[in-house]
C-alpha cells in the first residue's frame, strides 16, 4: 500500500468514525424525545457522594466488596484494602488520581460520585468502575465531570497486573509500578510520572498523553488522533504504531543501543531530528529493538546522544 492509499485509508476511517458517532447520537436523541413525549419523562439527577467508614479490615474478598447500585446524596467514599496484587479500573468521567500512600494499605477515596460508581475486591484483584450516570443517557442534561477518585498505592507496591480503561476522563499518575501494565485511552487525557513496567500495552485515543520518568520494557504503543509524549527509558523489543496524532519519544539512551525497523507511513519518522527512510537495521551491538509503523502523524525519537 503506497502513501496515497494509506492517506485515503486513514481519512476514510476518521470520517466513518465521525459519521457513526453522529448517527448514533441522532438516533438516541430522537428516541429519547419520543419516549419523553409519550411517557412524560422528566430529567432528574441522583448525583451525590457516598460516605462510609470501616474498621478491623485485614483482608478482602468478594464478601467484603463494595458495590453501589442506587443513588446517594452528599458525601464521600473512603475504603482501605489489603491483600490486593492487581487492579482493574474503568474511568469514564471525572478525574482519576493515582497517588503514593502514606501507609502500607491501598486506599480508594472518591467524591461527587454517582450511582454508577463501583468498587469491588475479587480475590486479589481490586475493581474500580466510574461510569456516566444512567440518567444522562435518556435526558438532555449535560454531563458533569467534577467527580474525583484518588487511588493511593503504597510506595513499595508493585502490581502484578494493572489495567486502566479510560473514556473521557482525566488521569494523573504520581507513581505506578507494575509487572504488566495496560492502558486503553479514549477521548480523555493522561499525565504521569515515575512509571515502571515489565510488559506494557498503551493504546492512546484522542486526548493528550504526557508520560515522564518512565522505565518501560517490551512496550507496545498504538496511537490515535491525540498527541503522545514519552520520556525515559525503553528496553526490550518495543513497537510503535502511529495513527493520526504525533508521537514524541525522548529516550535517555544512546542510539547505538537500538536496532530498528521502520515501515512507511504518510508522516515522517525522525531520529535526532533527521528523517529515517523505511528500512531494517539489525544492530548486532544493540541491546534493544524498536519497530515503528508510520501513520499520518509524525514520529519523533530523540536519543541521549543527540547533538
Residues 250-275: tens digit of each pLDDT: 999 999 999 999 998 999 999 999 99
Three-state secondary structure along 223-289? CCCCCEEEEEEEECEEEEECCCCCEEEEECCCHHHEEEEEECCCCCEEECCEECCCEEECCCCCCEE
Q: Which of 78, 87, 202, 64 is nearest to 149 (CA)?
A: 78
Nearest CA to 240 out of 224, 257, 256 is that of 224
Instruction: State residue 11's pLDDT score.
Output: 52
**What confidence score (pLDDT) does residue 76 get?**
83
Q: Residue 9 and residue 12: Cα distance in Å, rounded? A: 5
Give me the chain's average pLDDT, please. Answer: 82
pLDDT of residue 248: 98
DSSP letter assigned to residue 156 = T
Q: How many residues does the chain have?
A: 307
The grid cell for 30 is: 430522537
How far is residue 87 from each of residues 150, 197, 242, measured CA to CA in Å?
14, 14, 28
Summarised one tens digit per residue, pLDDT across range 174-228 is 999 999 999 998 888 999 999 999 999 999 989 999 999 999 999 999 999 999 9
Residue 139, C-alpha cell as written in the block:
435526558
Q: What are the CA-CA distances from residue 256 to residues 62, 196, 215, 217, 301 (Å)?
A: 50, 23, 18, 18, 13
pLDDT above 60 for 77? yes
CB atoms inside a 10 Å sphere around CB 61: 11
Q: Is the pTM of this model over 0.85?
A: no
Residue 260 has phi, psi (to 5 degrees) of: -155, 160
Tell me the β-bridge partners of 239.
220, 291
Give the three-state DSSP class for 30. helix
Report the range of poorest mean pLDDT among 66-75, 107-116, 141-150, 224-233: 66-75
* Maximum mean pLDDT: which of 30-44, 125-139, 228-242: 228-242
pLDDT at 57 over 50: no
The set of cell numbers assigned to 96 is: 482519576
Residue 254 has a pLDDT of 96
Amino acid at each position: 500500500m503506497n502513501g496515497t492509499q494509506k492517506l485515503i485509508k486513514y481519512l476514510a476511517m476518521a470520517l466513518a468514525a465521525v459519521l457513526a458517532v453522529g448517527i448514533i447520537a441522532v438516533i438516541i436523541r430522537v428516541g429519547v424525545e419520543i419516549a419523553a413525549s409519550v411517557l412524560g419523562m422528566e430529567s432528574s439527577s441522583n448525583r451525590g457522594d457516598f460516605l462510609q467508614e470501616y474498621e478491623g479490615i485485614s483482608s478482602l474478598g468478594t464478601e467484603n466488596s463494595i458495590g453501589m447500585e442506587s443513588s446517594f446524596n452528599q458525601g464521600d467514599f473512603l475504603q482501605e484494602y489489603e491483600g490486593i496484587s492487581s487492579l482493574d479500573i474503568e474511568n469514564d468521567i471525572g478525574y482519576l488520581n493515582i497517588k503514593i500512600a502514606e501507609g502500607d494499605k491501598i486506599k480508594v477515596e472518591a467524591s461527587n460520585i454517582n450511582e454508577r460508581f463501583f468498587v469491588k475486591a475479587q480475590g486479589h484483584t481490586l475493581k474500580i468502575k466510574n461510569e456516566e450516570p444512567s440518567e444522562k443517557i435518556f435526558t438532555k442534561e449535560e454531563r458533569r465531570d467534577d467527580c474525583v477518585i484518588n487511588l493511593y498505592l503504597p510506595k513499595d507496591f508493585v502490581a502484578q497486573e494493572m489495567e486502566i480503561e479510560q473514556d473521557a476522563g482525566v488521569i494523573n499518575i504520581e507513581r505506578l509500578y507494575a509487572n504488566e501494565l495496560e492502558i486503553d485511552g479514549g477521548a480523555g487525557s493522561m499525565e504521569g510520572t515515575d512509571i515502571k513496567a515489565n510488559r506494557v500495552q498503551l493504546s492512546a485515543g484522542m486526548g493528550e498523553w504526557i508520560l515522564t520518568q518512565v522505565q518501560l520494557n517490551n512496550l507496545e504503543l498504538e496511537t490515535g488522533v491525540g498527541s503522545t509524549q514519552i520520556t525515559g527509558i525503553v528496553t526490550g523489543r518495543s513497537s510503535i504504531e502511529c495513527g493520526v496524532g504525533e508521537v514524541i519519544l525522548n529516550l535517555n539512551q544512546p542510539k547505538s543501543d537500538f536496532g530498528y525497523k521502520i515501515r512507511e507511513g504518510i508522516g515522517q519518522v525522525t531520529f535526532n531530528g533527521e528523517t529515517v527512510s523505511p528500512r531494517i537495521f539489525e544492530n548486532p551491538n544493540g541491546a534493544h529493538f524498536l519497530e515503528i509503523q508510520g501513520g499520518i502523524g509524525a514520529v519523533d525519537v530523540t536519543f541521549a546522544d543527540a547533538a
